Amino acid sequence: MRKEKTIDFQIKWAWHSISRMYNAYAANFGITMAAGHVLLNIDIEQGTPATKIAPLLGMEPRSLVRMLKNLEERGLITREVDDTDKRFVRIVLTDLGKEKRELSREGVILFNNMVREKIPLEKLATFFEVINDINKIVEEENQKLRAGESDDEL
């Protein structure tokens, strides 16, 4: 089978194209796509517990540590330790972080509007249905792999 005919290749290729576009957009504002996605997943009013951000982004918590450190050094976030439980840390956006978050949000909206203008609603509905099914299949396989039950080879 040619790689162009595989499902994972098409998903990865599309994501890399989207990622490059988002990074080009974000560079105009002095951030990266990854930083923008982190900022978008921090509650603008209350902040977000540090332990909740990685799952919202589908990443491992240890992968997020460097990103949070970088965002903090750049003055986009602060860490607030809970007064009663010092283990509990909430990530809060600074005013600059809120600004960059809004620019990231506008970029996502622009992309979605661009796609929605060019692809009929019926096709998008089918796309969402298929991608949700793929995610379910992948999650089921991940659960099997974690449990050591998979007999299939990828």
Residue 126 has pLDDT above 60, yes or no: yes
Residue 61 has pLDDT above 70, yes or no: yes
Q: Residues with Cβ < 8 Å from 68, sequence gap 6 or more?
A: 38, 50, 53, 77, 79, 91
Q: What is the pLDDT of residue 152?
A: 56
Residue 8 has pLDDT above 90, yes or no: yes
Residue 146 has pLDDT above 80, yes or no: yes
Per-residue pLDDT tens digits for 38-54 = 999 999 999 999 889 98
**For 65-77, what is the mean pLDDT?**
94
Q: What share of the chain has pLDDT > 90, as a percent?
A: 74
Helix (H, G, I), strand (E, B) or coil at 149: coil
Residue 151 has pLDDT above 60, yes or no: no
The C-alpha atoms of residue 73 and residue 114 are separated, in whole angstroms, by 34
